[in-house]
Amino acid sequence: SVVSADVDCSKRPKFMDPRSCCPIPDFITAELKEKCQEYNVTMPPPPAMSSEQSGEGRHRRHHHHHHLPPCFISCVFNETGIYEDNKVVEDKLKDYLQVAFKDDSDLQTLATDAFTACATKIDEFKDKKGDRPPRPTPLAGLPMCPMRPAFLMGCVFKKMFKECPAAIWSDTQECNDVREHFANCKPPHRRSPKDE
């Protein structure tokens, strides 16, 4: 895709669910969801503040596909064997993609390329930053799981969205605006909880 000089990164496009623009079949099969369901728990929302504050806080917590809980992603990878010892296992990935995206070789290729590119990117990032100590558990009783599988999956979803096959891309102004913004603008830095 061509980088447009006219994308205004200060203006965020209207929020669109990536799946309504690029309706890729679910990467995680129903069988895997069933096997890993005990790990598919999201953080409970923070206790409500005063009424004015709770209104805006509530809408920001969209539960997108690429923000699945790290323990759930670890379970999916353990069950399929597609990511072991921080490496993508290509044969197992290929076998799994033939199940998840059956009859669609374009999506299988796209997902394979995304996994390979994202795994390399994460390795480079880790080499640069070093392995940071794990963050303290936010809530007692929630297990700590490695973040790397979750980062990998998030990267794969983003890459597949950016390079969505034309055959399934929803060619609307809103979707194209989101993709342009996504391709040309760096995401804003997440604020740390103490800023909120």
Residue 114: which CATH number?
Answer: 1.10.238.270
Angle between helices 148-162 and 173-184 (to 10 degrees): 130
103 — phi, psi (to 5°)?
65, 10
What's the pLDDT score for residue 51?
A: 44
E strand residue ranges, 12-167: 83-84, 87-88
Domain-located, residue 126:
yes
What's the pLDDT score for residue 170?
A: 94
Residue 81 is part of which domain span?
A: 25-41+61-131+142-185
Domain-located, residue 49:
no
Q: How do residues 152-168 score in pLDDT, each as one tens digit?
A: 999 999 999 999 999 99
Q: What percent of the chain shows pLDDT beyond 90?
A: 47
**Range among 51-60, 89-98, 172-181 rated most confident:** 89-98
Residue type, 7: V
What are the beta bridge partners of residue 83?
88
DSSP code, position 66: G
**Distance separating alpha carbons of residues 195 and 111, to the nearest angstrom:** 36
Q: How do residues 60-88 score in pLDDT, each as one tens digit?
A: 333 444 468 899 999 999 999 999 999 99
Which position has the higher pLDDT, 145 or 79? 79
Q: Is the pLDDT score of 113 beyond 60?
A: yes
Q: Is the pLDDT score of 126 beyond 80?
A: no
Structural domains of the chain, count: 1
